[in-house]
Structure 1
Amino acid sequence: MARPTVPPVLQSLRLPLLLTRGGMLAERLLRCFWPLISVVLLVLALLMLGVQDHIPVEAVWACGLLAMLGAGAALVFGLRRFHWPAQAEALARLDETLPGRPIQAMLDEQAIGSNDMQSAALWRAHQARMADRAAAAKAPAPDLKIARRDPFALRYAALLAFLVALLFGSVWRVGSVVEMTPGGADLAGGPSWEGWVEPPRYTGKPTLYLKDMTNPTLRVPEGSRITLRFYGEVGALTLAETVSGRLEVDQPLTDPVQDFTVVQNGAIEITGSGGQSWQVAVVDDTPPQITIAGVAEAEATGEMTLSFTASDDYGVVAGRAAITLDPDAGLRRHGLAAEPEARDTIVVPLPMPIAGDRRMFTETLIEDFSKHPWANLPVTIRLFAEDAAGHVTETDPAAMLLPARRFFDPLAAAVVELRRDLLWTRDNAGRVSQILRAISHRPDNVFRSETAYLRLRVILRRMETFAAYGLKAEQQAELAEALWDLAVLLEEGDLSDALERLRRAQERLSEAMKNGASDQEIAELMQELREATNEYMRQLSRQAQQEGQEGEQAQPSENAMQMTQDDLQRMMDRIQELMEQGRMAEAEQALQELQQMMENMRVTQGQGQGGKSEGQQAMESLAETLREQQGLSDQAFRDLQEQFNPGAQAGESQENEGRSGGQGRGQSHEGQGGQGGEGEQNGQPGSEGALADRQQALRDELRRQQGNLPGGGTPEGDAAREALDRAGRAMDGAEQALRQDDYADAIDRQSEAMEALREGMRSLGEAIAQQQSQPGQGTQQGDMEAQNRDPLGRNSGSNGSLGTPENLLQGDDVYRRARELLDEIRRRSGEGDRPEVERNYLQRLLERF
């Protein structure tokens, strides 16, 4: 075939023309031979990944025959459709990219007027312009898109498989297919082998390639997996090993694939041409170690803290603590004389480090067992640690009293002890009821609160009724919960009890300073004073809120002193510093000033001063209504789930919020141990009548709040009233839907009511803000903000927000603020009535910081 020549006039276009023909060739090759390329890439990918080593030889032959047939058909398909791009085609393709087709004009000849000099000169000028235009020619990009010919993108699938094989496969595995053909072993030049040692993943050790291991001694972790592959004639290579401990080999030692686990020291030998041997030393995976690092202690709120230390060569993955009762270690008398009821061992998971090294760490187990029947009784505790290999280590049983909350009020301690006797065995029900009846014989001499006495009488009647027909397990748990609530009420008491505790703590501290007590005793008394002060402030705040709901409070006078929790803490810190410095006279004077200030604060609060404004009370009431509506909506949703999934116990999910669909955050969905009143179904599934009644009560409460709503006559106040009207109508619709068992419609109406309540609160907040911005309102607003600070010293946010974005650690005393924040997190983590998700989050914060 003669080589095509380029006309002289086109010599300057030789390179663009060559590139254009190359692009056209690539287009035609790809369009005609893409099936062949896809088949070749797919076959190579499978061979490089070693698929042929995992399927029978017959299957390899069959697949190879199909691949050859497919490749031949693709080759014939491409050859029939392929033709070489001609020079004329390349010229036409290049000429199409230029305006006016200058290349074709350069190849044209003058048809007429060639003898006319002027016509010839004009023609030469035209040719020169076309030549200048053609000089700018550039080769067009080839069109390699073949989506219309391959609508299913099979070429991309083959290319992806090939790229995966390049990354994770081996080119040398392609040659193994030759050995599967008759005489292939001879063509491969004799038998060969490959081998790998794969340590357990949790060790973090790399995989070893045995071909590269020239050292005859191998040290491998326990549990390592060894894989060997023999190539060539079957039987030419044989395995002999003593590391797996196999008594009976389930496969011949001449099989092409050998796979076993190293469990002991021994030897591995490959006999035959090119064989090799190794002495294998196993690096034992030592069991984890765990020890109790301290003495179990109980915080003031009742949670147990127990430090432990754990270690392992590769890291501890899990742990748990098992607590069992030791009935023979205590005094078996009174209510404990009978045999205890069988109860399951307490098993709690041990906290693991969230980040960092788990090969050696110290953590603290924090749990609250105050309500458990074994609280403050002799128990034995064992700690277990487990590593990734499955080894479990336990500590020796340690005897201790199960730490829990202790009650210092004599009557509360007696009630807790009777609760313990009732949980010890149900046979103690008669004895417990007799003692309760004796305690309540003369209530005026025993009880400080009529509420506590009435609650005890209710518990007593229920216990005697249950005992008459045989006390059941669920009744036992209900009575135990009621007794616990009664003991807490007796221990914490009301404002007068808190004040008496505060005075007693101040007197004891003053006497200790006068008598020259030890530093440890003074520190304990100082801590008792702090706790008594905090409890008194809580009771004081609770009483102020109750008085604020009963009637409008008077405004504080000009000379009234504003104090926060931080001010009290600073005064007590000052007292402690003076005592540590030995300046007892100054410390006693500061203590007297603190006592006088607390007395004045009590009088001020008792007279109803320093309360909240009418607008703030309305906002808090609406916020409470919104929380209760949210709780009802949650309960309706759980009942709707119960209809489609009976027995799911959706109401007991600690992921949800609201007590029985009612009171906000942090409480369980169950009832209150008989304190909620008879006849109420505690919001359990199927109690649509109770839900409807509660929805009606909530609607009546909203109507009452609308009558006392401030901001009348302003656009914002009118907008708030209109939004609350919509909320009331939505509540009426929800009530009707609940009475008709239409939970889906009830949930929709409740959502509308909550949205309207939020809108009404926003409008009311704007109205209150405008009123406070008027002249003469600045002082009142400042007083309100000063009294509305949280325990961390932040101002409460508006419209239901939880705080302000200001820095928590401002000022000079940042360390004390950080300590207070840590104490607050620790206190909340020990409150058993908070959701499990929140408690786990708080415990993770304590573990990390």
Structure 2
Amino acid sequence: MSTSPEADRKDALSALRWPLRLTWAGMLAEGLVQALWPLMTVTLLVLAALMMGLQDMVSVEVVWGVAVAAGLAWLVALGYALRRFRLPPRGPAMARLDRSLPGRPIQALLDDAVIGQNDVASMAVWQAHKARMAERAASARPVPADLRVARRDPYALRFVAVLAFGMALLFGSVLRVASVADMAPGGGALAQGPVWEGWAEPPRYTGKPTLYLNDLDGGPLSLPAGTLITLRFYGDVGALTLAETVSGRTADVPAASDPAQDFAVVQDGDIAIDGPGGRAWNVTMLPDTAPEVERLGDPEVSALGEMRLPFAARDDYGVEAGEARITLDLASVDRRYGLKVDPDPRPEVVVPLPTPISGDRADFEENLIEDFSKHPWANLPIEISLSVLDSAEQIGQTAPSQMILPGRRFFDPAAAAVIEMRRDLLWSKANAPRMAQVLRAVAYRPDEIFRSEVTALRLRDVIDRLEIHARYGLSDDVQEDLAEDMWNLAIELEEGVLADALERMRRAQDRLNEAIKNGASKEEIAELMDELRRATEEYLQQLQRQQAQQNEQNGDQQQQGQQGETMQMTQDDLQRMMDRIQELMEQGRMAEAEEALRQLQEMMENMRVTEGQQGQGGQSPGEQAMEGLSETLREQQGLSDQAFRDLQEQFNPGAQAGESQGNEGRNGGQGRGESHEGQNGQGQGQDQQQQGQNGQPGDQAQPGQGQQEGLAQRQQALRDELRRQQQNLPGQGTPEGRAARDALDRAGEAMDNAEDALRNNDLAEAIDNQSQAMEALREGMRSLGEAMAQQERQQQPGQGNTEQGGRANRDPLGREGESAEGGLSEGGRIGEGPDARDEARRLLDEIRRRSGETERPEAERDYLNRLLDRF
């Protein structure tokens, strides 16, 4: 059954009903916006001005003039709207909708065939065309309205009006619009009598809002001390008068009928406005109490002499600043030897107290962290007082309390003697002759005292300068120079500048022996034990490298023949011995600690490192793989650091070592990377030296090659080493082992991308890929550690590594794991243990101290401040 063409056309157009209506609505919106935007702009601007109360701040004449101008503008805008606005007809809406479709299908549906109506074939083609157009028309969507009027409003006045109206809604009041009616002739309070306005503005530091007194009914009113009261009287002079007792004014008091009244609240009292519409308030002043500060205990002193003094401060509105004042307690000084003479006058020491960078300063606890080791009063009795200041310039302070000014302690006898003479020099310049004699006695037999001839020569130079200047009197500059040289000399005597690992370890043992004899504190013992651990670890690494080289030269048979004659010890055994020594010292059992330290010294002197076979105390395959990955991660970190320094120098190509901000240079003398002069310079970087020492394949760029080409070759060598390590990974067949392999595959892919970027001289892209490689390496090491831990748990007793007991409380990287108390032992991250809060506070104190050092780069200080804001 066929339908007529007219019926088909109606069916097709009926499907366009809603798209056509919505398109027509959009055209209506366009017409309204384009016609009414001037009218809405004028209306919003007038409403914003009235809601903000601008009519109350100017004279009546100005208000009337603005009202006339606004009325004229509104009429002009209304005429513009009436002239521009027309209801859109249906035809243009259909034409707009038709233009949005390909082929103008709606117009095609409305067309009729003019010729060929009697030709069946022609009509069949025409009907097919109409069907195709109907299908296209069925997919029509409403055409969005174009509401842009930027061409007609080039200065964006409509946005200014919307912004002003928004501000009026936030900060104004709709009720103020009605005040315009009071200015009309014959109406309002102004024609009937005088009016007044008043404000109460508390001090800004209180954080309290300003009060509009006209909105407050009479009665009790509480205001902070120092609140500024502002009153304005309008109308006939004398119709309104003021009576108040809160300002305490007795002189220069203005007349009660003065139109402008300004005074501050300093006491309880009354404020009364007498006259038409007057009010009265009974004011209660809220006093601003002085700030308070107190010490929370004795200072904590680190092994290097840094003082950490806890204190608490509070104020009702917040502490503004604070300081600590330190003076010498001369009456408590043991006046012997160099302290017998009267001291040279020195000003008191004033250091600022730290305050929270963010948060509430009304009540807080902080720590004063300072290092007074180089001050002349270090380790002498002093008096210290803390004071804080609030925004009202009120001061709160503690009573002076006696204490010993913390300073660094020196355990080497020669270093202690030099430091004592330095103290005498800074105590009084008159001590110079006596100091020279004492130091000559100390240096009488330099071979028995000093470890190097350079140190002896430095002390002799100090003595000669002392004797020369003592004859003619020491100046302040010479005194300071000598004190600085003596301090550096004492540090060298105490710590040494030795590069040899064995000498460094012996030095650490000697310092610990002196600490045992001199009764060191727990903090000093912990610091010295950490130094001994580091020195021992460096010595073992050097000894292991030396042993490996000897084994390569002498052959494995000789090593295996000697292996049965030596005693093997793991690092865990050494760690347990040093932990035992520290425990004995902390318990006060110094004789036992000294004997244990002597045994450790003898053992280390006679020790040689051997590579034990599996089951004989040597490293397991998992430990060897973990150590190799750790070394690869360190090498990748060093390579990334060098690429970053090269990227910095691209923006400052003429910079030498350390000239660019944040660039430590690549001079080999600084031990960071390579020299500026190129691969063939005298200073080869530490990164390449370390590769050679660790047996990693390293590449040095040949003469003529670019810096990035050398980095690319080293990146390729590092990728080859990782590929070799992947072949020997344990944990095959376990989920953890598969996760480790997947992570290392990602690391290798990132290394390949980094190599390509380096060859293309794209350092930024190379650094990104190197960061991805390091993150993947860390993830692989974590998965490998989990696989090793799972394997150890599955082992039966007697089948595991003999070192398992020593490593039970450590992760595969050698770090301390969770303790029995549920926290983390020393060396791990902060956990839930009893000392976690103190550790977190120490970290915050260190961050806060570094953020206050102005010599640090601005970017680093911004980062530290963001950390403080977050935590």
Flag whether TM exceeds 0.5 (same fold). yes
Return closer, same or farther for 1:324/1:703 CA change in 2, 3 Å cut-off: closer
Superposed, 1:72-111 pairs within 5 Å as 72-79=75-82, 81-82=83-84, 85=87, 89-90=89-90, 93=93, 97=97
Residue of structure 1 equivalent to 2:570: 562
1:440-494: CA deviation from partner (whole Å, max 9, x where unpaired): 2222344455443233123334555666787554443333222112222333465
* Shift of residue 375, structure 1, vs aligned partner: 1.1
Superposed, 1:602-613 pairs within 5 Å as 602-604=605-607
Residue of structure 1 equivalent to 2:682: 700
SS at match of 1:380: strand
Superposed, 1:441-480 pairs within 5 Å as 441-463=444-466, 471-480=474-483
Return closer, same or farther for 1:541/1:625 CA change in 2, 3 Å cut-off: farther
Q: Structure 1: how far apart are the matches of 2:404 and 2:428?
A: 19
Tell which deviates more after alignment, 548-557 or 65-74: 548-557
SS at match of 1:601: helix
* Shift of residue 287, structure 1, vs aligned partner: 0.5
Superposed, 1:582-731 pairs within 5 Å as 596=599, 599-604=602-607, 663=670, 699-702=681-684, 717=697, 720-722=699-701
Q: Structure 1: how far apart are the matches of 2:173 and 2:628?
A: 80
Q: Structure 2: how far apart are the matches of 1:590 and 1:401?
A: 28
| 1:324–1:379 CA contact under 8 A, matched in 2 | yes
Calculate percent identity across the aligned residue pairs: 42
Structure 1 unpaired stretches of 5+: 1-9, 112-132, 510-520, 643-649, 666-690, 731-751, 779-796
Q: Structure 2: how far apart are the matches of 1:444 and 1:103?
A: 113
* Shift of residue 569, structure 1, vs aligned partner: 6.0
Of the candidates 238, 242, 258, which is equivalent to residue 239 of structure 1? 242
SS at match of 1:604: coil
Residue of structure 2 equivalent to 1:499: 509
What code does the residue aligned with 1:36 have? L
Return closer, same or farther for 1:799/1:443 CA change in 2, 3 Å cut-off: farther
Return closer, same or farther for 1:448/1:163 CA change in 2, 3 Å cut-off: closer
1:723-758: CA deviation from partner (whole Å, max 9, x where unpaired): x757xx77xxxxxxxxxxxxxxxxxxxxx5xx6675
| 2:645–2:663 CA contact under 8 A, matched in 1 | no
Q: Structure 1: how far apart are the matches of 2:264 and 2:439?
A: 67
Larger relative CO (CA 8 A, sep 6+): 1 or 2? 1
Q: Structure 1: how far apart are the matches of 2:388 and 2:541?
A: 50
Return closer, same or farther for 1:188/1:571 CA change in 2, 3 Å cut-off: farther
1:638-668: CA deviation from partner (whole Å, max 9, x where unpaired): 99899xxxxxxx9899x88689996479xxx
Q: Structure 2: how far apart are the matches of 1:636 and 1:136?
A: 58
1:91-145: CA deviation from partner (whole Å, max 9, x where unpaired): 6646865888799989x9xx9xxxxxxxxxxxxxxxxxxxxx9999999876543
| 1:771–1:777 CA contact under 8 A, matched in 2 | no
Superposed, 1:325-336 pairs within 5 Å as 325-327=328-330, 329-332=332-335, 334-336=337-339
| 2:247–2:267 CA contact under 8 A, matched in 1 | yes
1:587-630: CA deviation from partner (whole Å, max 9, x where unpaired): 99999778645532343269999999999999999999998999
Number of residue pairs aligned between Structure 1 and Structure 2: 715
| 1:631–1:661 CA contact under 8 A, matched in 2 | no
Residue of structure 1 equivalent to 2:70: 67
SS at match of 2:455: helix
Q: Structure 2: how far apart are the matches of 1:569 and 1:377?
A: 33
Residues 1:287 and 2:290 aligned together: yes
What code does the residue aligned with 1:701 have? G
SS at match of 2:47: helix
Q: Structure 2: how far apart are the matches of 1:101 and 1:831?
A: 72
Residues 1:536 and 2:532 aligned together: yes
Return closer, same or farther for 1:218/1:21 CA change in 2, 3 Å cut-off: same
What code does the residue aligned with 1:538 have? R
Return closer, same or farther for 1:182/1:238 CA change in 2, 3 Å cut-off: farther
SS at match of 2:682: helix
Structure 2 unpaired stretches of 5+: 1-12, 99-103, 115-135, 497-502, 552-558, 613-617, 732-770, 783-810, 829-834
Return closer, same or farther for 1:41/1:830 CA change in 2, 3 Å cut-off: closer
What code does the residue aligned with 1:561 have? M
SS at match of 2:681: helix
Return closer, same or farther for 1:620/1:359 CA change in 2, 3 Å cut-off: closer
* Shift of residue 526, structure 1, vs aligned partner: 8.1
Return closer, same or farther for 1:568/1:353 CA change in 2, 3 Å cut-off: farther
1:245-277: CA deviation from partner (whole Å, max 9, x where unpaired): 455679876677755432222211112112110
* Shift of residue 335, structure 1, vs aligned partner: 3.5
Tell which deviates more after alignment, 151-160 or 442-451: 442-451
Residues 1:765 and 2:718 aligned together: yes
| 1:380–1:400 CA contact under 8 A, matched in 2 | yes
Return closer, same or farther for 1:34/1:417 CA change in 2, 3 Å cut-off: same
| 1:270–1:276 CA contact under 8 A, matched in 2 | yes
| 1:198–1:207 CA contact under 8 A, matched in 2 | yes
1:8-63: CA deviation from partner (whole Å, max 9, x where unpaired): xx9xx999999999876665454344323312221221221123444555554554
| 1:350–1:365 CA contact under 8 A, matched in 2 | yes
Q: Structure 2: how far apart are the matches of 1:197 and 1:59?
A: 27
Return closer, same or farther for 1:178/1:501 CA change in 2, 3 Å cut-off: same
Of the candidates 372, 375, 382, which is equivalent to residue 372 of structure 1? 375
Q: Structure 2: how far apart are the matches of 1:844 and 1:663?
A: 31
SS at match of 1:702: coil
* Shift of residue 568, structure 1, vs aligned partner: 4.6
Tell which deviates more after alignment, 449-458 or 226-235: 226-235
1:392-447: CA deviation from partner (whole Å, max 9, x where unpaired): 21222223321111223332221111111222344544443343233222223444
Superposed, 1:729-748 pairs within 5 Å as none
RMSD: 6.3
What code does the residue aligned with 1:810 have? G
Q: Structure 2: how far apart are the matches of 1:25 and 1:777?
A: 75
Residue of structure 2 equivalent to 1:513: none
